[in-house]
Structure 1
Amino acid sequence: MNICIHRGSNQIGGSCVEIEQDGQRIIVDLGLPLDADDNVPDYLPDVPCLTNGDPSLLGIFISHPHLDHLGLLKHISPEIPVHMGPAARRILAAAKPFLPDNWPDLPAGRDYDAWTAMETGPFRVTPYLVDHSAYDSYALLIEAGGKRLFYSGDFRGHGRKAKLFNNLLSRPPKDVDVLLLEGSSLGRLDEAGRFPTEAEIEEQLVQVFSATKGLAMVHASGQNIDRIVSILRATKRTGRKMVMDLYTAAILEATGNPNIPQSNWQNVALFVPQPQRIQIKTNAWFDQLKHHSANRIYGQHLQAAPSEYTLLFRPLFMGDLDRAECLSGAAYIYSQWEGYWERGLYDRVKSWLESRDIAKQSIHTSGHAGPSELKAFANALSPRKVVPIHSFAPDQYAGLFPNVEPHADGQWWEA
């Protein structure tokens, strides 16, 4: 089994690994770099036949639905099979109409059945469901030529699905030759440090909601399902209702999980901001709107009783909130990666908050394993070698794991 990390040996995001056996190839993840200015074909890695297809390229296996792991799929040939989790595929299909840059339909491929092997050519691929901030995320065990490679994808052990992490520690795959291990937390957290759990995030939200006299606005990704569950639980505990837009309602329904918050739940409401109303009219999404409108509210409801609501904030709400005059005593909680804020992605939100004298509060936890979780993971799998990926600090691996073997981007090597 021959392996090449095309991108990710010394950076977070843009992950792409090519694996070759007997002249046939598969790709694991095809991500957009985090520092990309735009999603353009120039960022495609140097993998033969991504744009025109080739019989030797058997398919692309996606670990989870985050752009830094699948964002470049929009530029590939539709002839290349793309395999991923079934809920991840549904979520991407639900999100597609709302995206501004005309994403094509994803190429067809097989849906993962967790812990069940799939075969293509000389490769046998087994998806392992993992705890991550993206719903329906997987690590992948790849077998070919008598070798076994375990690709961790992105994972953690402190989310609402931590049981998956603990199960993997207690029943790891055996005889792993190579562990391609993400290290997003290295350089950000010392070895003894840990990230807050989602349960602790819920408690922090309860404290802020209880102290907020007006509307509580939480700026979180509509695809961070664990966080939405935490927000709803904190909302119910403080006597509020959680308000979402049509995009978030569509994403939550696409999970196919009846235990995930839905637009028709008793403690949930739908508010459709003006930019989305234009989208609905332009695209004739009237049936979809009706489907989610059982608990629809309007600006006058927020104006009359802002303290009764928690809003899953998105920047497109700002104009409607101003027109509703519902911001007296409001709180804004930023619940995403701070890098987006620091890089200026939300400068318009920052100016809007400052002009209305609303302070930014941050309540968040990482979607990635901390150093102690990484060590426990590597110890459980006991691979013959650990190869760094998805980390800005590959130099720190040798101090944490035995048998570290770094490989540079673009370098081919044997398992």
Structure 2
Amino acid sequence: MRVKIHRGTKEIGGSCIELEAQGERILLDLGLPLDGDPEDSTLHPGIEGLQGAGDLLALVLSHGHLDHWGLAHLAGPELPVALGAATHRILKAAQLFLPKPYVPHKAIKYSSGNTFILGPFAVTPHLVDHSAYDAHALEVEAGGRRLFYSGDLRAHGRKAALFERLIADPPRNIDALLMEGSTLGRLETDQRFPTEAEVEDKLLDIFRQADGMALVAASAQNIDRMVSVYRACKRSGRTMVIDLYAAEVLRATGNANIPQSDWSQVAVYVPHYQRVLIKQEQRFDLLEPHKPNRIFPEDLKALAHKAVFLFRPAMLKDLDRVDCLAGAVAVWSQWEGYLRQDKGREIVEAFAARDIRLEHAHTSGHASIGDPKRLADAIAPKVLVPIHTFEPDRFTDHFGPRVTRKEDGHWWEIAA
């Protein structure tokens, strides 16, 4: 089996790996570089056969973050795209609401632990703990060689048991481990990120101290965070107010343990721009499952002092019209780097103009430094290749002599 990392040996984002065996190929991820424009052709990796009907058999997506699927639209309708079944449902649920959505034309829906065959490649997904729901590491066997691609993972989220399970029963006889190193350069070796449970406690403190509405700026697709917000609402006696997009994403998980729009202490508010969208697209059917707990502007104002509102900037006009921001607090519950970008600075200014205090409650979607080392020790690969990192030079310090650096765009053979 031969490997070409198109992007990722010295940057985070834009992940794309090409594998070749017996004259046939597959791709693992086809991601968009951080802050990249999907229409910028200079960012498109040179991969033959993306339109299908050749020796490129399939694109396999590890999870539903843009830096891993954001260039998947380059794949033609005839190329099969393998992805987690829940990831497929979430992409479909999000399709109407996003400016540049993606849903594969020819989907192969996989599930954790169940091997599927693509020509000479046997691919086994392993469900992992990550901020993206339904994220998987990928084990690939072909031509008598075995590769393990970590994808993105961590050990401090609500699915941390998956990480411990992987360490307790790791894949065996791995020749090459492609290990993500997002955290290198961000933490010291003995530091760790907060757990998702600690984020929940921080949210609880903020909600209890707030006199008015709590606006939580978080991704609706960060399902762990949606659970944390809901649990903090339950503990503080507040109602979690979500929009139609979030309600549809939560429904798409298909998980009875994930908060849903008809649960107690959940309300659905459809902001004006979503009402316009529903009318334009004649998708009134989307409202039906969420009717039991739907609220309207007059309800929102009455509920404000006991509400936690899942917030996006497009909703500010609604909140201003309803006049429900007296005593409000805002919680930034995603990567702080977004606030240094133009749109982030506009959000900060909008909060300040309304005298809304801004708090922070977040944790990384990636592992603290010690956890990938534990995983590498458990798998004991013949070689470990840095990927998804800005700091490949630091890998040897943490993973030892098994580290082998590779360069973007160069084929290499997995040795026996």
- Common fold, TM-score beyond 0.5? yes
Deviation at 1:104, TM superposition (A): 5.5
CA 1:104–1:207 in structure 2 vs 1: closer, same or farther (change >3 Å)?
closer
Tell me the equivalent position of 2:306: 308
* Sequence identity percentage: 50
Deviation at 1:344, TM superposition (A): 2.3
1:23/1:56 contact within 8 Å kept: yes
Deviation at 1:42, TM superposition (A): 4.0
Which segment drifts farther, 68-77 or 192-201? 68-77
Tell me the equivalent position of 2:74: 75
Deviation at 1:352, TM superposition (A): 1.2
Tell me the equivalent position of 1:43: 43
1:93 aligns with 2:92: yes
In structure 1, which of residues 152, 160, 175 is the aligned counterpart of residue 150 of structure 2? 152
Q: Deviations over 1:103-153 (max 9, x none)?
A: 464121321121121111111110001010001010000011111100000
SS at match of 2:57: strand
C-alpha distance in 2 between matches for 1:183 and 1:345: 27
1:191 aligns with 2:189: yes
SS at match of 2:331: strand
- Code of the aligned partner of 2:21: Q
C-alpha distance in 1 between matches for 2:359 and 2:339: 12
C-alpha distance in 2 between matches for 1:381 and 1:91: 31
1:39/1:71 contact within 8 Å kept: no
In structure 2, which of residues 125, 134, 139 is the aligned counterpart of residue 141 of structure 1? 139
SS at match of 1:269: strand
Q: Deviations over 1:165-211 (max 9, x none)?
A: 00000000111110100010110011101000010000001100000
C-alpha distance in 2 between matches for 1:388 and 1:292: 45
C-alpha distance in 2 between matches for 1:105 and 1:376: 35
C-alpha distance in 1 between matches for 2:325 and 2:72: 40
SS at match of 2:95: helix
How many residues align structurally? Answer: 413
C-alpha distance in 1 between matches for 2:331 and 2:114: 40
SS at match of 2:314: helix
Within a 5 Å distance, the mapping from 1:267-286 to structure 2 comes to: 267-286=265-284
- Code of the aligned partner of 1:413: W
SS at match of 2:365: coil
Tell me the equivalent position of 1:23: 23
Within a 5 Å distance, the mapping from 1:221-260 to structure 2 comes to: 221-260=219-258
C-alpha distance in 2 between matches for 1:239 and 1:141: 44
1:195/1:365 contact within 8 Å kept: yes
Q: Deviations over 1:197-253 (max 9, x none)?
A: 010000001100000000011100010000000000001100000000000000000
C-alpha distance in 1 between matches for 2:398 and 2:54: 41
TM-score between both structures, scaled by the size of structure 2 = 0.97
- Code of the aligned partner of 1:98: F
Q: Deviations over 1:327-376 (max 9, x none)?
A: 11101000011222222232332221121111221110001011011111
2:8/2:15 contact within 8 Å kept: yes
How large is the RMSD of aligned CA atoms in angstroms?
1.2
1:32/1:39 contact within 8 Å kept: no
SS at match of 2:343: coil
Q: Deviations over 1:248-301 (max 9, x none)?
A: 000000011111111111110000111111101111121211221211112222
Q: Deviations over 1:297-340 (max 9, x none)?
A: 12222322412110111112100100111111101000011222
- Code of the aligned partner of 2:404: E
SS at match of 1:350: helix
CA 1:203–1:86 in structure 2 vs 1: closer, same or farther (change >3 Å)?
same
Q: Deviations over 1:70-108 (max 9, x none)?
A: 01111221111000100000000110111123x464121
1:20/1:26 contact within 8 Å kept: yes
Within a 5 Å distance, the mapping from 1:4-23 to structure 2 comes to: 4-23=4-23
- Code of the aligned partner of 2:49: C
C-alpha distance in 2 between matches for 1:344 and 1:393: 26
Off by >6 Å, runs of 4+ in structure 1: none
Tell me the equivalent position of 2:168: 170
C-alpha distance in 1 between matches for 2:124 and 2:217: 35
Tell me the equivalent position of 1:126: 124
Tell me the equivalent position of 1:400: 398
2:91/2:103 contact within 8 Å kept: no
- Code of the aligned partner of 2:299: H
In structure 2, which of residues 378, 389, 392 is the aligned counterpart of residue 391 of structure 1? 389
C-alpha distance in 1 between matches for 2:312 and 2:264: 22
C-alpha distance in 2 between matches for 1:157 and 1:274: 39
1:41/1:75 contact within 8 Å kept: no
2:38/2:70 contact within 8 Å kept: no
SS at match of 1:243: strand
Please list every run of 5 or more consecutive structure 2 residues that lacks an aligned counterpart in the other structure: none
Deviation at 1:39, TM superposition (A): 4.2
Tell me the equivalent position of 1:345: 343
C-alpha distance in 2 between matches for 1:54 and 1:148: 26
Tell me the equivalent position of 1:290: 288
SS at match of 1:110: strand
- Code of the aligned partner of 2:96: P
